[in-house]
Structure 1
Amino acid sequence: MDRLKLSDNIIRLRHERKITQEELANFLGVTKASVSKWENAQSTPDLMLLLQISAFFDMTIDELIGYKAQLSREQIRRFYGELVGDFAKRPFHEAIEKTRNLARRYYSCHPFLLQLIVLYWNHYMLAESKEEQAKLLEEAVSWCDHILENCSDVGVCSDALVLKAGLSLQLGKAKETIAMLEPMSDPTRLAGQDGALLVQAYQMEGESEKARGYIQAREYLDLLNLVSDAMISLALYQDDFKRCQETICRIGNVIEQYRLERLHPNVAAQFHYQTAVVYALNGEEEGALKALRSFQKCVDRLLCAEKLTLHGDDYFDRLDAWIETLPLGDMAPRSRKFIFRNLQAAFGHPAFEGIKENPDFQRMLQHFTSK
């Protein structure tokens, strides 16, 4: 946060009103020397005097002292980027304490608090004990509750509710998650038609560029959701291998046709990994190794990228403009180092017990552990 600007503001406001230090002192019932000390930042007025000064200059105390409770989009991104770097480089307890301090300082900046909740969710597993991990998740839930109770922005509140539901599930509170999400997840609700109506409205107003940008963003998100849902389907039907094979085939075609391994290597990597787990659980060694090779290719693309960013491509040629409007812009929610830390755990999945001695599997494991 920038330093408070009380002294500078008193000088500026006094000059704008064309009054002397003595005149301001007489109005407030203090000495000229007191006003001089305020303007030289040698002392500060007490609370009652701050109230009088703010009333005299017809402004709030926050405006008078230069306190900004709300952060700009650029400031939110800068803070988030710093914190992601801290979690990758600094001791975990230091990164957490810095995050908490920022949350306290900007507790009324709900969009920023929302991103700190995401940050907690993405990094809580770095805590040493299960108890500490649960404590962090509960803390994030309390931030969600604060947003839901105090924020008037419907979009921010909707995001906070989804985050609270996810955090509650992570804490093993499935019934609470169901209670939160079931009412808003009914596929028959008319809310699903809002996108088509908005596009039609843009077209009627002659705003074709907005219509194209919106539909590309919607198509992109639907694509990511389709692949993400397929991963869940693979986990749900892992005992129905025939169905899983069909899902893998269909989504594999989608990934190839939309060039998703380049467009969004992270979600493509997750799908390939889940595919490998399903094949391994069903004793299909070659299928598991093939999926892991695809997983490795996507992860290498992430790790070798100069900067981890979200982006469009030749087909999604209006996506970059939409990405720029997101709270974090094109910034990845986790650092490259954090992704690397999770690779060993990924290869240690119990499903791979039967193939862990395979030379190809060992080569892939060595490929990442030697970096």
Structure 2
Amino acid sequence: MTAMKIGQQIAALRQGKAVTQQTLADFLGVSKASVSKWEKDQTFPDITLLPLLAAYFGVSIDTLLSYDAQLSAEQIRRIYSQLSKAFQTQPATQVLTSITDLTRRYYSCAPLLFEVGQLILNHFDLLPGKDASEKTQTYVTQARDLFQRCQQLSSDPTVLTKSRAAEAYCDLQLNQPDEVLALLGETATETYPTEALIAWAHQVKGETQAAITTTQAALYQYVTILLSQLTNYAQLIAGKPDQVAATEARGLALIDAFHIADLSPVLLVNFLISCASARAIGGATAEALADLQRYAALLETMTLPLGLHGDAYFDQIDDWLAQTDLGGQLPRNADQLLHELPNVPFTVPPLAALLAQPAQAPLAARFTQLKETFAHA
């Protein structure tokens, strides 16, 4: 795979045209510092600037990009980040055009297609469409097609496994449960984790640091997966108050033990909303309100950036996170997410009903104030 050296290409084209960085920056409407960072490969030009850059230098976009049908992991992370941020600064139709053009250009690059599919799933509510139903049908189907294309292109076991799981998620969103069971099977399969073997192999070779990093990465993933499963389980047992209480107690213990509020606050957000909803459905109003109070308190302490990271316990995972698919960034743009979180309780019917009660006006006002605060953040 040949890495795309667009920075070097811009520098060469600019020098060949005998123009300064400032002249190019003025033409594009960006700062000289931005051009300098591009040429040093420290940052990447916004996708929307590529046609303008190509026209300025009188070359094709392929030439500008030193086009290769395959992209590196770092290039894919940058593209995902740019498109995710674009929803805040560009019309939805323009973002959709960028997604479509990118997909066509790199239709043989399975890792990119997978991330584009994920991008669509994580943002389809922001894309053009007359209502939620139409958007779901249109864009989830589009994402599923990309995941199926990944399976046709790749023989990498990791890509195949992730693509099949993502395809199944799309089937669920499209209300096609039989397709999910046909694709993944009808019962949970036994898990044979390999991380312990990898860590052991590093230890035998005397590579203790690699063994520690591998084990920490595994623990980090298992903790987040367990909390996600408890989040989903709370909804499944919403009509069983005692089981919901036990599930929440175990989840909160896990959260406290691994400092999830600092490590991954967005993961805690989902758990609290799920428990609050399950409590409300089961008639445990006081407990549901307590969860909403915890949720509000969590939002009040949230600050950007919201990306994934380690902490004092998981002190060896930042480099590992940097080489994951999204490089530690959240699936949805953090700024956008922060603005949306205060409104979540009003979108969950059992919780919206609670907040509509006159006695809960102060709590509802607390969330409204958070929306206003984040809107100006």
> 2:365 matched to which residue of 1?
363
Q: In 2, distance between residues paired with 1:336 and 1:42?
A: 37
1:82 partner amino acid: Q
> 2:20 matched to which residue of 1?
none
Q: In 2, distance between residues paired with 1:285 and 1:90?
A: 42
Compute the TM-score of the two structures, normalised by the length of structure 1. Answer: 0.78
2:121 partner amino acid: W
Whether contact under 8 Å (1:266, 1:299) holds in the other structure is no
> 1:259 matched to which residue of 2?
259
C-alpha offsets along residues 106-139 of structure 1, whole Å, 9 cap, x if unaligned?
A: 1112111111111000011224322233111111
> 2:67 matched to which residue of 1?
67
Specify which of 143, 161, 164 is matched with residue 158 of structure 1.
Answer: 161
Specify which of 316, 324, 331 is matched with residue 314 of structure 2.
Answer: 316
Q: Does the alignment pair 1:169 with 2:178? A: no
Q: In 2, distance between residues paired with 1:355 and 1:86?
A: 33
SS at match of 2:155: coil
The change in CA–CA distance for 1:183 and 1:238 in structure 2 (over 3 A counts) is closer
> 1:349 matched to which residue of 2?
348
C-alpha offsets along residues 245-296 of structure 1, whole Å, 9 cap, x if unaligned?
A: 0111111111011110010000011111111112222333322222112222
> 1:282 matched to which residue of 2?
282
Q: Does the alignment pair 1:332 with 2:310? A: no
Higher Cα radius of gyration: 1
**Cα drift, residue 73 of structure 1:** 2.2
**Cα drift, residue 67 of structure 1:** 2.8
Unpaired segments ≥5 residues, structure 1: 9-40, 45-61
Specify which of 164, 184, 189 is matched with residue 186 of structure 1.
Answer: 189
Identity of aligned residues (%): 26
The change in CA–CA distance for 1:197 and 1:184 in structure 2 (over 3 A counts) is farther
1:283 partner amino acid: G
Which range is displaced more, 169-178 or 358-367?
358-367
1:1-371 pair list within 5 angstroms:
2=6, 66-127=66-127, 128=129, 129=131, 130-182=133-185, 185-187=188-190, 192-302=192-302, 304-305=303-304, 307-339=305-337, 340-341=339-340, 343-352=342-351, 353-357=353-357, 358-371=360-373
**Cα drift, residue 43 of structure 1:** 11
The change in CA–CA distance for 1:252 and 1:132 in structure 2 (over 3 A counts) is closer
Q: In 1, distance between residues paired with 2:159 and 2:299?
A: 31
SS at match of 1:252: helix
**Cα drift, residue 195 of structure 1:** 2.3
Whether contact under 8 Å (1:309, 1:332) holds in the other structure is yes
Whether contact under 8 Å (2:114, 2:147) holds in the other structure is yes
**Cα drift, residue 322 of structure 1:** 0.9
Compute the TM-score of the two structures, normalised by the length of structure 2. Answer: 0.77
1:244 partner amino acid: V
Whether contact under 8 Å (2:110, 2:154) holds in the other structure is yes
> 1:12 matched to which residue of 2?
none
C-alpha offsets along residues 125-180 of structure 1, whole Å, 9 cap, x if unaligned?
A: 22432223311111111111111011122211211111111011111111111111
Q: In 2, distance between residues paired with 1:336 and 1:216?
A: 25
Unpaired segments ≥5 residues, structure 2: 13-56
Corresponding residue pairs, total: 314
Which range is displaced more, 133-142 or 237-246?
133-142
Q: In 1, distance between residues paired with 2:146 and 2:356?
A: 42
Q: In 2, distance between residues paired with 1:139 and 1:205?
A: 46
Which range is displaced more, 343-352 or 287-296?
343-352
> 2:21 matched to which residue of 1?
none
**Cα drift, residue 301 of structure 1:** 4.1
Q: In 2, distance between residues paired with 1:342 and 1:294?
A: 13
**Cα drift, residue 183 of structure 1:** 7.2
The change in CA–CA distance for 1:208 and 1:69 in structure 2 (over 3 A counts) is same
The change in CA–CA distance for 1:182 and 1:99 in structure 2 (over 3 A counts) is same
Whether contact under 8 Å (1:273, 1:292) holds in the other structure is yes
Q: In 1, distance between residues paired with 2:341 and 2:261?
A: 19
